Chain A
């Protein structure tokens, strides 16, 4: 089974900062990667799919990149409403989620 490892588990940053979250697969997932944002008490929301495609309605400050086993979610200018937990998910050879990165405002 392909494992997904996210880092860091917790991140504290200031409003306006550029933030990057990492997701590593135990073997290549051929860009079959999505990112989700989950705010407290809510269902997850799809942000990015196919590594770098922005879901409709998602602000352009969110972007995704990567290939092979290493993927990144970037937030270009952190906003207060971005406080959430972020999960990566591979959908090559079945869906598997990473353990999440909890993002807070410093």
Chain B
């Protein structure tokens, strides 16, 4: 059974950093592109980042480019999202998902950016 389990969310002040993790199991992690998708409270879904199987290629929308960094450790079947210079508009539940289409999602981890 495919499982994706996010962790690392919490309350953080504007301008600070936070790193999210996603532990994958039930499939050969190194064979798949992976992604982060977020959802602000009572809002829609927004793709945040994608990483290739080896980690050599990464993709971001303009809204997070230069602030967020996606990475992976295939030996640990783990996905990461380093978020720097956080803003209030980054407040959301962050999901990791197997790319694309996103057939498998984690349960999400809530990030709240507030002073």
**What sequence of 0s and 1s flags, for each residue 72-97 of chain A, a beta carbon within 8 Å of any chain B beta carbon?**
00000000000000010101001111
Total A-B Cβ pairs within 8 A: 47
The count of residues in chain B whose C-beta lies closer than 8 Å to any C-beta of chain A is: 19
Contact in complex: A46, B102 (CB < 8 Å): yes
Q: A43-B105, A43-B106, A94-B59 are in contact. Are A100 and B100 (CB under 8 A)?
A: no
Binds A, one of B17-25, B42-50, B67-75, B78-86: B42-50
- Say whether B102 contacts A36, CB under 8 Å: yes
List chain B residues, Cβ under 8 A from A100.
Answer: 44-45
Q: Mark B83-115, 1 if CB is under 8 A from A, else 0.
A: 000000000000100011111011110000000
- Which of the residues A87, A95, A99 comes within 8 Å of B100, measured between beta carbons? A95
B47, A96: Cβ atoms closer than 8 Å: yes
Determine if B34 is an interface residue (Cβ-Cβ < 8 Å).
Answer: no
CA distance A30 to B44 in the complex (A): 23
Give the total of A residues in contact with B, Cβ under 8 Å: 19
Complex alpha-carbon distance, A55 and B102, angstroms: 11
Nearest 3 CB-CB pairings of A with B: A34-B101, A43-B105, A95-B47
B contact residues vs A (CB 8 Å cutoff): 35, 37, 44-47, 50, 59, 61, 95, 99-103, 105-108
Q: Show 9 residue pairs from A and B whose CB-CB distance is below 8 angstroms, ordered by the A residue.
A: A36-B102, A43-B105, A44-B102, A87-B45, A89-B45, A89-B101, A91-B100, A91-B101, A97-B47
List the interface of chain A (C-beta within 8 A of B): 34, 36, 38, 43-46, 49, 55, 87, 89, 91, 94-100
